[in-house]
Structure 1
C-alpha cells in the first residue's frame, strides 16, 4: 500500500519536473502547452494511482470519474470535493486544454498532494 503512495508522489514530482524543465514559464504563464498537458496528465494519473490503493478494484469495466466520485462520496466528502477540483484542474484544464496559467497548475498540484497525503494517512492507520 505504501508503495502506491510513494509511486503517486513520484508521479507528482515528475509533473513538477516537466513544468519546470520544459514548459518555459514567463510572467506567470507556461509557454508550451504540450508540456502543460503532459504534466497535468501525469499528476492526475498519480492521484488515481493513490486512490486505487484505498478504493480497490471496480467489479466490471473501466473505472471512470463517476466511479471515483461515488466511492469517495461514501468515504469522505472533503476528499470528494478535492477530487472534483483535481479532475477539473489537472485532467480537463491542463491535460486537455493546456491551460497556460502557472497558478492553475500550482493549485492543481497542491490539491493532488492533499489527496495523496489523505490516502497515505488513511492507509497508515488502517
Structure 2
C-alpha cells in the first residue's frame, strides 16, 4: 500500500515538474521575443528547476507559519508573511486579498437576499416600509 502511495506521489511530482518546465519555457520564449535574446535548453531547464525548488521551499515555509500559529490551514496572512521581503509582491497580494474579501462579502449578501426572497421574507428595508404603511393606515 505504501509503495503505491509513493509511486503515485512520484508521478504527481513528475507531472508538476513537467508543467513548471513547460511554463518556464513559455515565459523564456516570451522574454526572448521581447528582448531579442535566446535561451538555451539548459538555461530553461535551470530556470524551471530553480522555480520548482523555490516553490517547494515556499510550501514548507507556509506550512510552518500555519503550524506556528497552531492552525492546520494556510491563510492569506501566511502568504503575506512569506512575501514580506518584496514590497511590490506584498502590495499585490494584499490588494488581491482585499478584492477577494469584498467579492466574498458581496456574494454572501446576494445569497442572503435570494434566500430571504425565496422564503417570502422581507429585507430590513422592506420590513421598515411595511411598518410605516401599516402605521399610516391605522392613523387614517
TM-score by length of 1: 0.33
| Higher Rg | 2
Answer 1 or 2: which has greater helix percent: 2
The one of the two structures with greater contact order (alpha-carbon pairs below 8 A, sep at least 6) is 1
